Amino acid sequence: MSPILEDSSNGGLPERDSYAKNGFVHIKNPHLDLLPEDILYHFDLGTKTHDLPSMFGDVKFVCVGGSPNRMRAFALFIHQELGLEGDSNNVADICAGTDRYSMFKVGPVLSISHGMGIPSISIMLHELIKLLHHAKCRDVTIIRIGTSGGIGIEPGTVVITDVAVDSFFRPQFEQVVLDKVVVRKTELHKELAEDLLQCSKEIASFPTIIGHTMCTYDFYEGQGRLDGALCSFSKEEKFEYLQRAFSSGVRNIEMESTVFAAMCHLCGLKAAVVCVTLLNRLEGDQISESHETLTEYQKRPQQLIAEYIKKQLNLS
């Protein structure tokens, strides 16, 4: 059995958080100081090859989501919503030199894709947090805008996460570090969640709630689906599990929120998770709504976040 440790996040080394008190991003890795150059390999960016402070120093809002197309569409939408000058068609993928992630910058907003699942978003977040640090960004708010499966709520409902929980409904993320399991808290920013709920009331064009979000390692068996290539449980066991999730406060299921919450919390980023539900898992497993309906659903978190950003910038 591997030892399970509370997170110290510094491996016994002095914490490197000298920027922490001024709204800068905390980087908790003293080894970074020893690097002559930091190569952000999956972004195709680096501290020697790119002037990160001039490229990204004004970033105040970072929005992340699974799909490159969604994050491009979000960047174009924000360009229009903020009334920025220039042709939005010229908004280019900053990570075009690699096909791992896509990144778009429009004014103070950075929009980045993270792929599917904890390992994929975790790699992206390591490099993003270092990028924000190298660029000397201050007072950054980061929001995951995603899709999810709802439990006991109308499809199309937007869920703002108060707590991200694991498959055992625990508010924690377990990271294997060397041969140990390090347990990290999955707190999200309460005030930000409340501010987002308030924005949703002002838009009032789709249902929005605050609830727990369960994060799993798999879309099929891991989320209690009966329609994967493998299924090792009965229909009754599925419903019993989803009912228990509902009773513990879970309102939606996705695949990135625990590591997102844990890493952002440790690094001092104000973070939120806002996901639309594509179906009610108590009514089925397959995502069967039309393409048009699903496209419209995916725009809901974007509309909410655009409203929030405009409010923060005194544009609405």
Ligand X SMILES: O=P(O)(O)O[C@H]1O[C@H](CO)[C@@H](O)[C@H]1O
Residues lying near ligand URA in the complex (CB under 6 A) are found at 147-149, 219, 223, 253-255, 278
Whether 184 and 217 have beta carbons less than 8 Å apart is answered as no
Q: Based on CB atoms, which residue is closest to ligand X, 64 or 267?
A: 64
147 near ligand X, rule: CB under 6 A: yes
Q: Which does 256 bind (CB under 5 to 8 A by kind): ligand URA, ligand X, none?
A: ligand X
Cβ within 8 Å of residue 127, ≥6 positions away: 40, 41, 42, 43, 45
149 near ligand X, rule: CB under 6 A: no
| 145 annotated to a ligand binding site | yes
Which residue from 44, 81, 254, 307 is in contact with ligand X, where contact means CB under 6 A?
Answer: 254
* Closest distance of CB 145 from ligand X, Å: 7
| 258 annotated to a ligand binding site | no
Number of residues that bind ligand X (CB under 6 A): 11
256 near ligand X, rule: CB under 6 A: yes
255 near ligand X, rule: CB under 6 A: yes
Distance CA 206, CA 200 (A): 8
67 near ligand X, rule: CB under 6 A: yes
* Closest distance of CB 287 from ligand X, Å: 8
Structure tokens at 49: 């090859």
* Closest distance of CB 298 from ligand X, Å: 7
* Closest distance of CB 142 from ligand X, Å: 14
Q: Measured between alpha carbons, how far apart are the two ends of the chain, in Å?
A: 55
Q: Which does 66 bind (CB under 5 to 8 A by kind): ligand X, ligand URA, none?
A: ligand X
| 175 annotated to a ligand binding site | no
116 near ligand X, rule: CB under 6 A: yes
Residue type, 159: V
Whether 79 and 91 have beta carbons less than 8 Å apart is answered as yes
Q: Based on CB atoms, which residue is closest to ligand X, 129 or 278?
A: 278
Whether 134 and 126 have beta carbons less than 8 Å apart is answered as no
Residue (of 104, 106, 112, 108) closest to 129 by Cα position = 112
The string of DSSP codes covering 38-69 is -EEGGGTEETTTS-HHHHHTT--EEEEES-HH
Torsion sign across C-alpha atoms 264, 265, 270, 275: positive
Distance CA 224, CA 167 (A): 10
Task: List residues forming the annotated binding site.
Answer: 100, 144-147, 223, 225
> Rule CB under 6 A: which residues touch ligand X?
65-67, 116-117, 146-147, 219, 254-256
- The binding site for phosphate comprises 100, 144-147
